[in-house]
Amino acid sequence: MLLDLASDPGGIAALVVGGTAAPEGHPAPASFRLAADPARPGGIAGHVAPLHLDVSPQPLTRDDYEALASLFATAADTSDVPADQPPYDGSSWPPAPGLVGLQEPPDPNPAPAGLDDPGRSPSAGFPASGVNPPGEPDQADPADGTDEEASLLIGVLGTFTVNGAPAALQPAQSQLILALALNGRDGLSNAQLCYLLGADPDHPKPSDSLRQLIVRTRRQLGRTPDGKEWIEHLGAGQYALHPDAKFDWADFEELSEHGIGDRDPGCLRQAMILIRGKPFTGCYHWWLDLAFTETVRAQIVDAAELLAELELAAGDPSASARAARTGLAGDVAAEQLWRALMRAEHAAGNLAGVREAWSRCLDTMTDIAADGEPHPDTAALYQQLISGGAPPATPPGAPSAPGSPWARSYQ
């Protein structure tokens, strides 16, 4: 939400410390709780109450500070082209009429014959940080041996990232990449992109602004290993990501479906490696379907629950607990995973771990609703485990008891 506030036409948003007493007529102050992130060694997990927002604070590195300083230095530079001169005055090429059939600006450096997208522009490779270092040339010298193979990795199974960086691109560029990633090789038309990238359904993005956004994003992403653009023009105003682009949700969906269908722990382990936290963290786009995001979380829960069950049946309670914790990083309200964690801790002889899992489950239910209570199956399992009884066995393939009212089972 802060990124949206600070996006076009420009601005700055900040989350600042407030007072402990709320003025009359205002809601109570929010609390910001920080803890170690179990899904990321050395990472931080945060929770903002009572807004029920899970966040992943990112400590800034020296390179981050230098990048920020370079942005302010650029903003203070008075030697830039004046606003009433090309290309800012809009005289470089006429705006495209309507939403369909987006016109292409003239290309001062035409592409070689055989490439059918006239809007492409020469660009450099995409470094791991997502941006070219200030002062570096756009084109790497292949003779210096430092040019790394270009890649495009889109991650939504946790904080939204491009090539591993949460803010590798500008908000509008990130929204463009995510929209194309979610639509696979079918891609999206000019009209669809204008609609999705607008401020809301009633205010689509102007087609000329979309064209400039695509050009800027292509330039920043660089070329694919085969020399093409990461955002491909399929013809007739249709755009899609290059087939070499990797989308963690697509990989997870394939691995988890195969692992669940075949009860294959190897596939499930590979799938769970992709989980970094709550899916779509940092994505507040109005068009992002809530039902779809809940389906993603439910798929994570199902895969984690089955893997925890298979690991426990194989006599590895440590791996079982790890699978449950990874799933909880994706959906902390999934009570079936809290039950799986308690079973794994009990099998490892760690009653303190059982009590801690129960306590954290209670805290989670309280965060969801002030009078939130765990499912009776969760309470019964906890009482049975701490009293010295054996945990009830879950028949292979049997559906688990339902979790919280907000958790769904993906079928």
Predicted pLDDT of residue 129: 33
Predicted pLDDT of residue 392: 54
pLDDT digits (tens, 9 = 90+) for 300-312: 999 999 999 999 9
Does residue 62 lie in a domain region? no
The burial class, CB within 10 Å (0-12 / 13-18 / 19+), for 352 is: exposed
- Whole-angstrom distance, CA of residue 169 vs CA of residue 261: 37
Best-predicted range by mean pLDDT among 77-91, 138-152, 165-179?
165-179
Residue 124 has pLDDT above 70, yes or no: no
CA dihedral of residues 21, 27, 28, 34 (deg, nearest 10): -120
Across the range 207-236, mean pLDDT stands at: 90
Q: Which residues 6+ apart lie within 8 Å of 373 measured at CB?
A: 365
- Whole-angstrom distance, CA of residue 357 vs CA of residue 338: 6
Q: Quick one: residue 259, left, alpha or beta (phi over 0 = left, psi -120 to 50 = alpha)?
A: alpha
Give the model's confidence band at 66: pLDDT under 50 very low, under 70 low, under 90 confident, else very high: confident
DSSP 47-104: EEETTTEEE------HHHHHHHHHHHHHHH-TTSPPTTSTTTTS-SSPPPPSSSSPPP
Q: Which residues 6+ apart lie within 8 Å of 37 measured at CB?
A: 43, 44, 45, 56, 277, 329
Residue 101 has pLDDT above 60, yes or no: no
- Whole-angstrom distance, CA of residue 407 vs CA of residue 394: 19
Give the model's confidence band at 99: pLDDT under 50 very low, under 70 low, under 90 confident, else very high: very low
Q: What's the CATH number where 305 sits?
A: 1.25.40.10
Residue 282 has pLDDT above 80, yes or no: yes
Residue 62 has pLDDT above 70, yes or no: yes
Bridge partners (DSSP) listed for residue 31? 49
Q: Quick one: residue 160, left, alpha or beta (phi over 0 = left, psi -120 to 50 = alpha)?
A: beta
The burial class, CB within 10 Å (0-12 / 13-18 / 19+), for 149 is: exposed
Predicted pLDDT of residue 7: 65
For residue 247, give the nearest of 179, 314, 320 by alpha carbon.
179
Residues 107 and 119: beta-carbon distance below 8 Å: yes
Compute the mean pLDDT over every residue in the chain, rounded to the nearest whole number.
Answer: 77
Does residue 314 lie in a domain region? yes
Residue 111 has pLDDT above 50, yes or no: no
Residue 391 has pLDDT above 60, yes or no: no
Work out the number of other CB atoms within 10 angstroms of the CB of residue 360.
14
Residue 148 has pLDDT above 60, yes or no: no
pTM greater than 0.85 (yes/no): no
Does residue 345 lie in a domain region? yes
For residue 176, give the nearest of 149, 161, 196 by alpha carbon.
196
Question: Which residues form the domain of 326?
Answer: 248-278+290-386
Residue 126 has pLDDT above 50, yes or no: no
Does residue 298 lie in a domain region? yes
Give how far the C-alpha of residue 140 lies from the chain's centroid of Cα atoms, to the nearest Å: 29
Does residue 294 lie in a domain region? yes
- Whole-angstrom distance, CA of residue 318 vs CA of residue 316: 5
Predicted pLDDT of residue 144: 40
Across the range 82-109, mean pLDDT stands at: 42
pLDDT digits (tens, 9 = 90+) for 12-52: 666 677 666 777 766 677 778 888 888 777 788 888 777 67
Does residue 258 lie in a domain region? yes
Does residue 328 lie in a domain region? yes
Number of domains in the chain: 1
Within 13 Å and on the Cβ side, how many CA atoms surround 184? 4
Q: Which residues 6+ apart lie within 8 Å of 294 measured at CB?
A: 408
Give how far the C-alpha of residue 408 lies from the chain's centroid of Cα atoms, to the nearest Å: 20
Predicted pLDDT of residue 149: 58
> Which residue reads 């070689």 in tokens?
112
For residue 154, give the nearest of 175, 170, 123 by alpha carbon.
175
Does residue 362 lie in a domain region? yes
